[in-house]
Amino acid sequence: MKKLLIFCLLIPFVQQVCAMEDTLQIQAETDYVAGNYKDAVKNYELLLQKGESADLYYNLGNAYFKSGENSRAILNYERALLLNPGFTDAHYNLRIAQRKIVDKIDELPELFLVRWYKSLISAFSADQWGWISIGFFLLMLISIGFFIYSSNVFMKKTGFTTSIVSLLIFVFTLMFAFKQTERFEQRREAIIMSPSVTVKGSPDESGTSLFVIHEGLKVNIKEKLGQWYNIRLQDGNEGWISMQDAEII
């Protein structure tokens, strides 16, 4: 009875929270359509405090882009793609925003198989890979059932072959799900937020200046030491920058 009473008391609170979120969402969309992009940014930021969403990051990226804050637009498009790698609109808008950055970094050449492997993992989110792996696991169980209980030779052969193939695909998709989960949890990529950053040879202001990078550039974080990030660019160059100059995706 006590649990029922608590549940009944919580219903109005939950309804109020949902109503507040709906109001914020409507207000953010209204501000965006009206061209009040800074107000839209504030409301989308408030919505994100209640929970991450690829759509919210995408909308926030659009609001930042319209506000002229290109690096923050890139950051939020990247966050949207981290949650939903197949988000076509976010991919498209990210490419547009990246055209405005100063640094044009040439990627180190990779073997075709390595490039294909990375693109395959990035095709789906961790949750999507997880559901795919569950699907193939169930298919494997059904196939084993056909192999064991069917009296038809063709069905036995088909069941055996399908179960082996399903097992292999299950293992690979499960591995892809873990890889995407690791990428999401560790978040080893960042966007440069300062207009201009001098990359140092050591984690110290007095360290040797190596090269200069600019806002909007995406970097890989290899290590963190105090208030410094050891970063690596897509062309292989490495160095140290202050944590204040970058924001984790």
**pLDDT > 90 in the chain, percent:** 71
Mean pLDDT to the nearest integer, 181-201: 93
17 vs 140: which has the higher pLDDT = 140
Give, in order, the Cα–Cα distances in Å from 52 to each of 61, 114, 159, 218. Answer: 13, 31, 42, 21
Contact in structure between 220 and 231 (CB atoms under 8 Å): yes
Q: Return all residues near 143 (Cβ < 8 A) that are at least 6 apart.
A: 158, 159, 160, 162, 163, 166
Q: How many CB atoms lie within 10 A of CB 172?
A: 16
Q: Would you place residue 70 in the very low, low, confident or very high pLDDT band (cuts 50, 70, 90)?
A: very high
CA Rg, the chain, in Å? 24
> Any idea how long the chain is?
249
Query: How many Cα atoms within 13 Å fall on the side-chain side of residue 193?
Result: 14
Q: Could you report the per-residue pLDDT of 26-60, keeping only the tens digit for each?
A: 999 999 999 999 999 999 999 999 888 999 999 99
Residue 191 in this model has a pLDDT that exceeds 90: yes
Q: Partners of 221 in the beta sheet?
A: 231
The Cα–Cα gap between 89 and 68 comes to 19
Q: Sign (positive/negative) of CA torsion 203, 206, 209, 210? A: negative
The Cα–Cα gap between 198 and 183 comes to 27
What per-residue confidence (pLDDT) applies to 183? Answer: 86
